[in-house]
């Protein structure tokens, strides 16, 4: 709950940016998300690295196959959406 401009607001979704508790929750969520991504895909001989909510990975199959995987991952939680950039 916070006050701004003589109005009272209540946050009902999400967490405070920069909070150590929010950081811990983000790490837990991303760990579970990462496990699911790796479980669903054959990611042998690839590189996957993550720092909190940033992911770097290599992919040796088609770009369309990767996009399909990432779009599918966007359906796993209604309030979490991936933003990704594919380089070559």
Q: What are the per-10-residue average pLDDT scores of the chain (88 residues)? A: 90 80 85 79 72 83 87 86 85
57 lies in a domain?
yes
79 lies in a domain?
no
Structural domain total, the chain: 1
pLDDT of residue 4: 92
Closest CA to 66 of 35, 88, 33: 88
User: In whole angstroms, what is the distance from residue 12 CA to residue 81 CA?
Assistant: 18
30 lies in a domain?
yes
Closest CA to 60 of 82, 70, 45: 45
Largest Cα–Cα separation, the chain: 57
pLDDT of residue 43: 62
Closest CA to 80 of 2, 15, 24, 10: 15
User: In whole angstroms, what is the distance from residue 33 CA to residue 84 CA?
Assistant: 15
22 lies in a domain?
yes
Q: Which domain holds residue 56?
A: 2-73
84 lies in a domain?
no
81 lies in a domain?
no
Specify the pTM: 0.61
78 lies in a domain?
no
pLDDT of residue 69: 85
């Amino acid at each position: 709950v916070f006050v701004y401009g003589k109005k009272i607001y209540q946050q009902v979704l999400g967490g405070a940016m920069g909070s150590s508790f929010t950081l811990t929750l983000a790490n837990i969520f991303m760990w579970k998300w990462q496990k699911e991504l790796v479980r669903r895909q054959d990611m042998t001989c690839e590189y996957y690295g993550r720092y909190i909510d940033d992911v770097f990975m290599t992919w040796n199959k088609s770009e369309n196959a990767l996009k399909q995987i990432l779009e599918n991952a966007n359906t796993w939680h209604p309030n979490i959406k991936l933003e990704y950039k594919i380089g070559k």
